[in-house]
Structure 1
Amino acid sequence: MNAAGRGSAMVRRRTPEPTGSGRGWKEQLRRVSELCLLGLVATALSLPLVTIGAVVAVLSSAVAHWADHDDLPPWRVMAAELRQRLLPGVAVSVVGVLAAVVVVNQVRWLASGAVPGGTPALVALLVAIAGLLAVVLLAVPRLAGGGSWRAALAGGWTALLRVPAAGAAALGVTLIAAVLAVTLPGVGLLLPALLVLALHALHRALVLPRS
C-alpha cells in the first residue's frame, strides 16, 4: 500500500463511529429529568418547614453523587440519610425560618419608616443579609457526604472571606432561581436540585482550586 493509501486508512480508523440519532439529547434529558424529580420530592418534603435542614443536606449529597457518577443514589439510600439527618436538621430549620421572618419584618419596617434609620439602615441591613445568605449557600456543597451544618457553615464563612467572587456567584444563581420561581411557579417546584447543582459547580470551580 502506498503512503496515500495508508494515510486514508488511518483517517478511516480514527473517525469516531456515529452514536445514533438523538442518543445524546435523550441522555441529557434523562439526566435533567432525574434532577427535576429530585427537586420536586425535596420541595414536597420541605413543606413541614422543620425538615428543610435535613432535606437540603440530603439534596446536596444526592446532587454530588449525581455529578460524580452520572446517576442518583438509590432512593432507599437517600431516605436512610434523611432519617439520620432529620433531628439534627430541626434546629437548623427552626433558626432559618425564624431568621427569615425577622429579616422580612425588619426590611418592611425600615422601608415603611416604622423603624428609624431610613435608606442607609436599609442598605446596611440588605448587605448584611446578602453576606449571611452567601455563607449559607457556600455551605450547601460541604454538606455532601455526611457533613454537619456547623462544619459546613464554618467552611462557607471561610470560603466567602477567601473567595468573595464565589459568594457573589452563589447569590447570582440563587437570584435567577428565585425570579424563575416567582414568574413560573410550576417550574419553581423543580428548581431546588438544579440550584444545588449550580452551587456544587461553583464550589468546584471557584472554591476548591484555592483551598
Structure 2
Amino acid sequence: MTARALRRRAPEPTGSGRGWKEQTRRVSELCLLGIVATVLCLPVLTVGAVVATLSTVVAHWIDHDDLPPLRDMGAEFVRRLAPGAVASAAGGLATLVVVRQVQWLASGAVPGGSPVLVALLAAAAVLLTVVLLAVPRLAGGGTWRTAVTGGWHALLGRPAAGGAALGVTLVAGLLAVLLPGTVLLLPALLVLALHAVHRALVPGAP
C-alpha cells in the first residue's frame, strides 16, 4: 500500500486525540482569558459580571472547542454589569461581615469563643460552596438569583458535588499562595474545574 493511500485512510485527529501543540493552544486560551478576567475584576463591583461572563465563555469553550467571538464576549459582559454589581456588593458585604466577626471572636471582643467561631466558619464554608455550585449555572444567561438557588439545591441533593467544588477551589487558592504569579492564570481554569464538577456530579447538568 502506498504512502499516499495510508495518509488518505488515516483518520483526522479530533478532540482529546489532538497533538500537544493544539492542546497547549487551547489551555493558553483559558490562561489568557484568566488574565483579562483578573484585570476586569480590579474595580471590585465588576466581579459579578466577570464571573458570569467567564462561566458563559467557558461553557461555550467546552461545548464548541473554541472561544466565542470577542464581540459576543464583550456584549455578554456589558449585559451582566448591572446585576453583577449587585451580586458583587452583596458578596463583598458578606465577606466583610464574616471577616470582622472572625476577628472579634478570635480577639475575645465578642463572647462565644471557639464553638461560635467554628460554627461561623462552617456557615461561611457552606455559603461559599453554594456560590461555587452556582457559577456553572450562570452560563447561558442564568441570573445570580436562580443560580444561587440552584446551587443550594445542588448542595442538598449532592453534597459530594459541594465537596468537590470546594476542593478544587482550595487547590487553586493553594497554588495562588505558593506560586503568586499563577493568580492571573487561575480564574478561567477554576471556572473550567467547577463546570467539570457540575457536569459530572450534579443530576440534570449538561
Q: CA deviation at 1:107?
A: 1.3
Tell me the alpha carbon deviations over residues 127-178 of structure 1, each in whole angstroms, 9 at most, x when there is no partner. Answer: 1011111110000000000110011011001000000110111111101111
Does the alignment pair 1:31 with 2:26?
Answer: yes
Q: Give the Cα–Cα distance (whole angstroms) in 1 for the partners of residues 48 and 204 of structure 2.
A: 27
Paired residue for 2:64? 69
Larger Rg: 1
CA distance in 2, matches of 1:202, 1:164: 12
In the superposition, relative to structure 1, how do residues 60 and 17 fare at CA in structure 2: closer, same or farther (>3 Å)? closer
Matched, 1:90 2:85: yes
Mean Cα displacement is larger for which, 108-117 or 125-134? 108-117
Residue number in structure 2 paired with 1:174: 169
> Could you tell me which residue of structure 2 aligns to residue 197 of structure 1?
192
The answer (yes or no) to whether the contact 2:165–2:197 under 8 Å persists in 1 is yes
Q: Could you say which residue in structure 2 is the equivalent of 1:54?
A: 49
Residues 91-144 of structure 1 deviation map (CA, whole Å, 9 limit, x = unaligned): 111111111111111112212222111111111011101111111000000000
Show the 5 A alignment for 1:1-211: 24-209=19-204
Q: TM-score, normalised by structure 2?
A: 0.90
Letter in 1 for 2:154: A
**4+ long deviations beyond 2 Å:** 15-19, 208-211
Q: Is the 8 A contact 2:49 2:81 kept in 1?
A: yes
Q: Distance in 2 between matches of 1:89 and 1:187?
A: 25
Q: CA deviation at 1:61?
A: 0.2
Distance 1:175 1:111 in 2: 23
Residue 16 of structure 1: CA displacement?
A: 5.3
Q: CA deviation at 1:17?
A: 6.4
Quick one: distance in 2 between partners of 1:99 and 1:17? Answer: 54
What SS does the corresponding residue of 1:115 show, helix, strand or coil?
coil
Q: Deviations over 1:70-98 (max 9, x none)?
A: 11111111000111110111111111111
Kindly state the Cα deviation for residue 210 of structure 1 after the two structures are TM-superposed: 8.0
